[in-house]
Amino acid sequence: MRKNYFLFALLFSSLHLFAQDEESVGFFKKENLFTGGTVNASFGNLVTALGVSPYFGYSFNKYVDFAITTGINYQSERDVSYAGSGDKIRFTSYGPGAFVRLFPFKFLFAQGQYEFNMLRTKYLPFGTSNGVGVEKYKFDAHSFLVGGGISNGKDFPDQKSYYYFSILWDVANSPHSPYKDNLGRSVPIIRAGYNIALFQDKN
């Protein structure tokens, strides 16, 4: 329930800022479209994860960005369920999502992001060779990522392209989340990327 309250608060804040901003576009303008992508990494207790996530979105005003996204992630972790275990688990996940970024300042933002991840899992017992003994599974996982980041400046409406760096955490309770370690704890998701303004007015 806590994540649902957060999502409601985030969306309400977005709409409130949109309504109050005197410089808001009021209606669709193609020059407010943007694209971009992130490269992410997370490291935790015996866990390493890497991924890429392209996205496409719209800047409502200087405060609010919204985008749809898709991504693919790879994760490897060592199973320590018993002493001396050398087993490994490898995940590949992919799926759609969407995010909202709120800019209280042009160099600082908060972010909430939903992802639906389809996971393909391999369990490799210690000493496995030539695929013998490998177990394969399929899972689905809902993730809700929250956090924030910094950018080199979103100077709306004159300049909407920006570099950014963010740190997010998965606050959902899915046991198969690609952003949880082998003890079920959320690990920090470090992302860096570039937001590219489309149809930017060059005058």
Q: Where are the domains of the chain?
A: 2-16+36-197
Q: How much is the pLDDT for 55?
A: 95
Element (H, E) at 20: helix 2-20
Strand partners, 113: 99, 145
CA 74 – CA 71 distance, rounded (Å): 10
Element (H, E) at 12: helix 2-20
CA nearest neighbour of 78 among 44, 112, 35: 44
pTM score over 0.85:
no
Write the pLDDT tens digit of every residue in 91-102: 888 999 999 999
Both tokens of residue 185?
């704890």
State the CB neighbour count (10 A cutoff) for residue 14. Answer: 19
Write the pLDDT tens digit of every residue in 120-149: 888 777 666 555 567 888 889 999 999 999
pLDDT tier for residue 118 given thresholds of 50, 70 and 90: very high
Both tokens of residue 22?
């005197």
Q: How much is the pLDDT for 129?
A: 57
Asked: is 2-16+36-197 a CATH 3.40.50.300 domain? The reply is no
State the CB neighbour count (10 A cutoff) for residue 5. Answer: 9
pLDDT tier for residue 203 given thresholds of 50, 70 and 90: very low
pLDDT tier for residue 201 given thresholds of 50, 70 and 90: low
